[in-house]
Amino acid sequence: MLIDRALVTWFPGPASYTGEDLLEIGSHGGSLTPQLVLDAVLAVGARMAEPGEFTRRAYLNGKVDLLQAEATLDLIEARSVVLQRAAIAQLERGLSRRIEDLRQGLIELQALLAYSIDFPDEDEGPVPEERVDAAIASLRSGIEELLRNAPEGELLRDGALTVIAGRPNAGKSSLFNALLGQERAIVTELPGTTRDAIEALLSVDGYPFRLVDTAGYRDRPERIESLGIEVAEAYLSRADLILFCAESGRPLADNEEEFLAKWSDGDAEGPTRVLRVRTKSDLQTDAGAEDEIPVSVETGQGLVELRERMLEAVYHGLRAEEETPLVTRRRQARALERARDDVSSFEAARGAGLPPEVVATHLQDAQLALEELIGIVDTEDVLDAVFASFCIGK
């Protein structure tokens, strides 16, 4: 019985995606026909792939390293241009090459130390301390450079949680809509919390923000009473950024000052947590305080500056160092942190005058952390964690 006329592509290994012989059937689309084709293929002995199995096989066959496998997933899931760019750069092995260089540095340092262990009485004397010091300094700065923007890199996947806060009528919903502009169409009500909040993904220059408006509280005056400010604390405590709204020219009420004191980051060096927005600036000539941003959704005043300040508050580091390969996952950051801590332990042990063979074990640990990161050595649970998040067929 004829099911469909399909395009069948044969990819002989090892030049295929997985490195194995691969057959791809492109049937007509829709919901039923592909399913019927699949049923027919399963009936003659094929089985469904595990999530991420194709990429996992590509990894096991040496077609990609583990960081490239993760970048493949980033590329598929990217909802922001910056993450998409980072994923493409990593598919070209940008981060992998950096990690390989660091690993190479570690191996050379171990060789230097081994030389001192094996030939302590060599005529040329031990390896000069300065050489070891210089090698460590360069390793450390290489690792730290990659780690510096890792927290920002991780925000690229879901977007920086940005909560618009303020009293009822302060202009929050209007600001939410104005920031989204043309993108208003993708606003979705949060499942289970439809009355509490709506959320939309906002892209500012390709950098993603998860913009949350808690307009739903208007329907529940008793919550407004009890909270004073109509935003759920749960959101605020998780927020990467808060846009605090108050009408231009109006002195802040006590509970608003309390709100700012509670949620602003006291540490001037730390990341900005709260941007103070003065709404409806078209109704006021007063420019407001220096740390306030006057905004009007009627005239558009201040919207460009607000976007710029949002970028600066959340993605300052990434924008400043666009050339540095991005660390976009917790797994990657943790491995680098382990390597950095092992290098510190090495320095401490060396400073304490411990025997060179003891000191050197810390460098082996650092090397192992980097090798797990890139997948030169792997453990099943690392692979399971990496590939579990893939969908079937990738």
Check binding of 297 to ligand GDP (CB under 6 A): yes
Q: Report the Cα–Cα distance between both ends of the chain, in Å, rounded.
A: 30
Check binding of 279 to ligand GDP (CB under 6 A): yes
Check binding of 168 to ligand GDP (CB under 6 A): yes
Site for ligand GDP in 202-231 (CB under 6 A): 215
CA distance linking residue 211 with residue 164, whole number of Å: 7
Spatial strand order of the sheet with 160-166 comes to 188-189, 198-204, 207-213, 160-166, 241-247, 274-279, 292-294
Check binding of 174 to ligand GDP (CB under 6 A): yes
Q: Nearer to ligand GDP by C-beta: 139 or 306?
A: 306
Check binding of 305 to ligand GDP (CB under 6 A): no
Check binding of 282 to ligand GDP (CB under 6 A): yes
Which residue of 153, 171, 208, 294 would you call a contact of ligand GDP, by CB under 6 A? 171
Q: Which helix (H) or strand (E) holds 293?
A: strand 292-294
DSSP 326: P
Q: Nearer to ligand GDP by C-beta: 80 or 279?
A: 279
CA distance linking residue 240 with residue 273, whole number of Å: 6
Q: Nearer to ligand GDP by C-beta: 246 or 360?
A: 246
Residues 6+ apart with CB under 8 A from 381: none
Helix spans in the chain (H)? 32-43, 53-60, 66-77, 81-91, 94-118, 129-148, 150-158, 172-180, 221-227, 233-238, 254-263, 303-320, 330-351, 356-374, 380-388
Shortest Å distance, C-beta 234 to ligand GDP: 19
Amino acid at 191: P
Shortest Å distance, C-beta 140 to ligand GDP: 48
Check binding of 170 to ligand GDP (CB under 6 A): yes
Check binding of 166 to ligand GDP (CB under 6 A): yes
Check binding of 173 to ligand GDP (CB under 6 A): yes
Question: Which residues sit at the interface with ligand GDP, rule CB under 6 A?
Answer: 166, 168-174, 215, 279-280, 282-283, 296-298
